[in-house]
Structure 1
């Protein structure tokens, strides 16, 4: 289904962006979660090389966002890059950033929801009382996307069907846990069998408590990554036929980036040794390639449900059923509205 069947785990983001230059030049793109040494920054530089009209980049830290912009501008001085400071774990911050973005004159052709946190060791709640990984990885992106959708809808009116896109960076970690609709906040309630994670995979990822009542760092991370995939399923269901906006999710690969900043020394050693037996560790440039295929490949304009919603190593792949179940996607949207206290009827 993709244009280039030879793209794989070793393909670089720079190569993908250059191949699909016509899908970048003159267009407006937004990337969340951009900081030095991350795949967001690698994607920024790959896209900046291909003459976009504007790239907006978000992050919590003014210093880190500006450092990423400076690095990209050093390589591509003519690139038009605009910072937008946003803490995805705070709904108030997200609303403020969305209002600031909506006040600008440009529409938006491509939204890349890239930001994320991983393996917070103890159950931590956001300022809004939401489990931190779910708050940052899903709820913040959900609110931000819904609030700025009018800019995507406006752009889609002047673009081929499917060329306007919302890309959600999920992870292979979605295999660890479905959405715990009965206890998304990990408050210790019993959940039905369909909401329990994969015990074998959790044990493989060094989570020793598989009771599915107590908080586990990887279980909560897995739930948030399942949410990323289901968000794309529901966005595409709502937007593709009505507005011509396509949403896809992806696993970027195992990457040595700052995403794992909450991991212990023991976990890092484990991932650096045992995990290399089953995973190809990518550079950040290689780590952004699948994101850019999902965002740019013009062949995907003619998307069909049969090819799926989820890419790995630059090609479509089949995730766990719980990550692409349409009913779960609808339920997640409803749950998200309840958490946020606002309905979004697109």
Structure 2
């Protein structure tokens, strides 16, 4: 996979959820290009260790950590309020953090299935709360981390059991959350027309991160299979971060919005639900209620709903 050449980002502020794996290399690339980087994490000690390393590697001291837990809506609201009060801009928002294929169904204190909230709903709320800052900072870019898992047979939006109380499996939960991230990018791109804010979804590739280790450990011979799989099929986190970096910084993506990217280029979704705009809208409306927002974003310009090149 190509290594993206990042333009000079002096004066730009990037906010990234997470600090390990893909998030680390996103932060490193942006910091090397002179951006101010703010990492959102629930484990401040571990995140600060990464920040110390990033500062050494990039010679950029303008990297910091702020506390936020995607599985706790109140912490997302607290961070957003604090950030808005700080009057700082945001030019790049990378919705990156998440979990994968948790064996047993878990529920957050907000009452949602953990994968759905960590991967999707938390970022849905964060993005909406930061929209006033993004609009004022525009041009701005939002990058949502989806996955090719959104095309797996288990991938659907279970409208009547969105938190999978009756039909939970590890992959059903993960696939639904990543399909939701894709739908979010599609739907928000229509609602952000005219704001000079772009939003796109990204598949990073099959990346060798701790998420896979978490999943494989539950299976007999899981570690052995994992080692073989990573050797022949996986890419490194640095390689996986390149598409996020490309969408967040490249000249080619400056005005592109509402697309799905893989391998630093536009990709096609083979899940037929990707071409059901009514379902995207329905999920958006459901999500507003789930995160406690009274109203969403209405488009300033009526978009073309016939766009097919997602």
TM-score normalized with structure 1 length: 0.80
How far apart in 1 are the matches of 2:96 and 2:109? 21
Uncovered stretches (5+) of structure 2, i.e. residues with no partner: 298-310
> How much has 1:180 moved relative to structure 2?
0.9
Match for residue 105 of structure 1 among 81, 87, 90: 87
TM superposition outliers: structure 1 runs of 4+ over 3 Å = 267-277
**Hey, what does 2:106 align to over in structure 1?**
124
**Hey, what does 2:265 align to over in structure 1?**
315
Secondary structure in 2 matching 1:298: coil
Match for residue 187 of structure 1 among 148, 158, 165: 165
How far apart in 2 are the matches of 1:56 and 1:321? 36
Contact 2:216/2:226, CA 8 A, preserved across alignment: no
Contact 1:230/1:325, CA 8 A, preserved across alignment: no
Contact 2:208/2:230, CA 8 A, preserved across alignment: no
**Hey, what does 1:33 align to over in structure 2?**
18
- Trace 1:139-288 onto structure 2 (pairs within 5 A): 139-156=121-138, 159=139, 164-176=140-152, 177-188=155-166, 214-239=167-192, 241-265=193-217, 266=219, 267-273=222-228, 280-288=233-241
> How much has 1:34 moved relative to structure 2?
1.3
Match for residue 340 of structure 1 among 271, 285, 291: 291
**Hey, what does 1:290 align to over in structure 2?**
243
How far apart in 1 are the matches of 2:125 and 2:223? 32
Secondary structure in 2 matching 1:255: coil
> How much has 1:271 moved relative to structure 2?
4.3
Task: Indicate yes or no: 2:31 matched with 1:58.
Answer: no
> How much has 1:340 moved relative to structure 2?
1.7
Contact 1:178/1:226, CA 8 A, preserved across alignment: yes
Deviations 1:47-90 (A, max 9, x none): 111111x2111111001210111111011233311211111011
Secondary structure in 1 matching 2:37: strand
Instruction: State the aligned residue count.
Output: 291
How far apart in 2 are the matches of 1:321 and 1:219? 17
Contact 1:309/1:324, CA 8 A, preserved across alignment: no
Match for residue 27 of structure 2 among 30, 40, 44: 44
> How much has 1:230 moved relative to structure 2?
0.7
How far apart in 1 are the matches of 2:51 and 2:275? 35
Contact 1:250/1:310, CA 8 A, preserved across alignment: yes
> How much has 1:324 moved relative to structure 2?
5.2
Secondary structure in 2 matching 1:58: strand
**Hey, what does 1:202 align to over in structure 2?**
none
How far apart in 1 are the matches of 2:156 and 2:98? 18
Uncovered stretches (5+) of structure 1, i.e. residues with no partner: 1-9, 189-213
Contact 2:156/2:176, CA 8 A, preserved across alignment: yes
> How much has 1:25 moved relative to structure 2?
2.6
Q: Note the aligned Cα RMSD (angstroms).
A: 1.8
**Hey, what does 1:87 align to over in structure 2?**
69
Higher relative contact order (CA 8 A, sep 6+): 1
> How much has 1:274 moved relative to structure 2?
5.6
**Hey, what does 2:53 align to over in structure 1?**
71
> How much has 1:337 moved relative to structure 2?
1.1
